[in-house]
């Protein structure tokens, strides 16, 4: 391996919106694409979620290296996390190898069934049989740990979300990143699964769709708050937190104000914005 690639661990946000993509002047600084995170560990590419942000990511990957080996980790299958998948360019390259991983979802027995159901009429004109890449489907049990390579470990925990959702942690070269999205907390308590997953993590992204004041109006929707994310970060001794899964009604000025509050508690905390790159 070239020295320039040795222990490269980068996290890039290609989409940080939840529910729906947005466009227009009020959303330019944060971005309008839905959930998609690229994690680069040396020459391994890990992607968490396939929202609209995955389309541009796919074009970049194919342009950089036609023959890709990619690990796609789906937190769950609500539209804002999968709507970009049919337009992901590496799926249409016969030399690409793509592992699609997802936890067990309500109403679906396997990741293969999930993909087949999602890409079917009347919702989509063609099924995943149009893909020419070499695809492996993996259905993950709750609280599983597996390795992508000798030095890349993936850990998962179940989230509190309608229909189920999975949180992921990537450990590599002594550093770590976790993605916690689409989960709802109970005010006054903290999710022990999440605390275990982000224990001493270097950076984690968290579902900050709401504020503590807004949460009662969205009970049962399966989302959390930026204040809870900050509390969890402190309890778990995490290095920093990136607030993500921004609601479509939340404009740049409002997110800037939330970021100011987050930084008052921990200067390294921040809003996750489309195009942000974290080097670990």
Indicate the SS3 state at residue 167: strand
**What pLDDT shows up at residue 6?**
66
Q: Where are the domains of the chain?
A: 7-279
- CATH (residue range 7-279): 3.60.15.10
Q: 183, 222 in Cβ contact below 8 A?
A: yes
Tell me the β-bridge partners of 145.
Answer: 155
- Burial profile 31-66: b = 16 or more Cβ within 10 angstroms, e = fewer: bbbbbbbbbbbbebbbbbbbbbbbbbbbeebbeeee
pTM of the model: 0.96
The ranges of the chain with pLDDT < 70 are: 1-6
State the number of CA atoms in the 13 A half-sphere of 153 facing the CB.
11
Write down the H helix ranges in the chain: 53-64, 79-82, 111-118, 192-197, 226-235, 252-265
**What pLDDT shows up at residue 66?**
74
Rounded Cα distance, 194 and 39, in Å: 20
**What pLDDT shows up at residue 7?**
85
**What pLDDT shows up at residue 67?**
79
**What pLDDT shows up at residue 68?**
84
Q: Retrieve residue 30's tokens.
A: 């944060």
């Amino acid at each position: 391996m070239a020295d320039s690639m040795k222990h490269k661990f980068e996290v890039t946000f290609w989409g940080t919106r939840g529910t729906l993509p947005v466009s227009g002047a009020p959303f330019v600084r944060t971005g309008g694409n839905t959930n998609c995170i690229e994690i680069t560990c040396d020459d391994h590419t890990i992607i968490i979620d396939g929202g609209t942000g995955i389309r541009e990511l796919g074009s970049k990957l194919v342009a950089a290296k036609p023959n890709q080996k990619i690990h796609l980790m789906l937190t769950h299958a609500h539209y804002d996390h999968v709507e970009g998948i049919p337009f992901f360019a590496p799926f249409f390259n016969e030399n690409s190898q793509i592992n699609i991983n997802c936890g067990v979802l309500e109403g679906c027995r396997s990741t293969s069934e999930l993909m087949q159901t999602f890409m079917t009429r009347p919702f989509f004109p063609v099924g995943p049989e149009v893909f020419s890449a070499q695809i492996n489907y993996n259905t993950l049990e709750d609280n599983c740990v597996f390795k992508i390579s000798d030095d890349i470990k993936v850990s998962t925990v179940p989230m509190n979300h309608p229909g189920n959702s999975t949180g992921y942690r990537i450990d590599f070269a002594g550093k770590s990143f976790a993605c916690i999205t689409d989960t709802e907390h109970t005010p006054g308590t903290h999710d022990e699964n999440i605390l275990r997953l982000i224990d001493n993590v270097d950076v984690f992204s968290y579902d900050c769709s709401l504020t503590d004041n807004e949460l009662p109006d969205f009970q049962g929707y399966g989302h959390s708050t930026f204040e809870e994310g900050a509390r969890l970060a402190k309890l778990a001794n995490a290095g920093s937190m990136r607030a993500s899964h921004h609601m479509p009604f939340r404009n740049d000025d409002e997110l800037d104000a939330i970021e100011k509050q987050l930084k008052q508690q921990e200067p390294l905390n921040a809003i996750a914005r489309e195009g942000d790159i974290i080097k670990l």
